[in-house]
Amino acid sequence: MDLPPYATLGQRIWHYAYYVICGLIFFFLIAPILVIIPLSFNAENFFTFTPKMLALDPEGYSLKHYQDFFTSNAWQHALWNSVKIAPAATCLAVSLGTLAAVGLSQEHVPFRRTIMAILISPMIVPLIISAAGMYFFYSRIGLQGTYVGVVLAHAALGIPFVIITVTATLVGFDTSLTRASASLGANPVTTFFKVQMPLILPGVVSGGLFAFITSFDEVVVVLFVGSANQQTLPWQMFTGLREQISPTILAVATILVVISIGLLTTVEILRRRSEKMRGLSPG
């Protein structure tokens, strides 16, 4: 945004200082990624830049760590667990979170603010506390160390993201559409899938993507409620850092970064589409 010609000296200083501060914060957040990505192509088994890498010598770069990831039984087992757990947890989080958001959007629901605070509490409570609580609870009901337990735990972590995104989408929803649908003889289920769902779908998909990322990248809860059979990619990375330092971890981290960027780009596209559908200008 350009400064007006009548801006004072103080306003001009703050204007440019604001951009400098934002730039420094962005660099602070992005710098680790800028270091990890080139290191994942290191031809040596080191976590540091070699002289050949600094000299941009092609011999200093290699894809062997990516090859190790795709050929190692341990890494592939962890990848397969993540691929099984994350989509299942996402589907469960999207289903329950969407229903909760639609229900809590109704003004006549009693204690809806309290219920909303309870449902989004997994986003606020430290993960170590949630993980410990889930461990003791699952141990009593026999879900500790099972795929079902891990899926339910990750779904609980993903539900708040779905509720928040869907609730934000419902803010601009015209409730007269549901009344018109009911007046034409449609039952609540038909109204939901034919009228509400097409309009809130961008918010539902966005929440689902956030839930998927949360499940795919989560390590603390799965360490508590899972077992060796449910070892996911983040768990395998944590084990690799603790027991054996392998640059394959950097290759996996780079792959996860690329996946996250793709998913977040999709979320931004859906956000803009949702705002256009509601007649808002994307900011």
- Residue 87's pLDDT band, with cuts at 50, 70 and 90, is very high
C-alpha distances out from residue 1 to 16, 18, 19, 21, 26, Å: 11, 12, 11, 16, 19
pLDDT tens by residue, 1-21: 567 777 777 777 888 898 899
* Residue 282 pLDDT: 46
* Residue 279 pLDDT: 56
For helices 147-170 and 73-104, angle between their N-to-C axes, nearest 10 degrees: 40
For 113, the token pair is 């603010």
pLDDT tens by residue, 168-209: 888 767 677 777 887 778 787 888 888 778 878 888 888 898
Q: Which residues of 44-76 are buried (b: 16+ CB within 10 A; e: fewer)?
A: eeeeeebeebeeeeeebbeebbbeebeeeeebe
pLDDT tens by residue, 115-138: 888 888 888 888 899 899 999 999
pLDDT tens by residue, 230-249: 888 888 888 877 766 778 88
* Residue 228 pLDDT: 80
- Residue 283's pLDDT band, with cuts at 50, 70 and 90, is very low
Residue 263 has pLDDT above 60, yes or no: yes
Sequence letter at residue 117 = A
Average pLDDT over residues 32-50: 83
* Cα 146-242-143 angle, rounded to 5 deg: 10
* Residue 2 pLDDT: 67
As a whole number, the mean pLDDT across the chain is 84
Matching residue, tokens 């002289």: 51
* Residue 275 pLDDT: 67
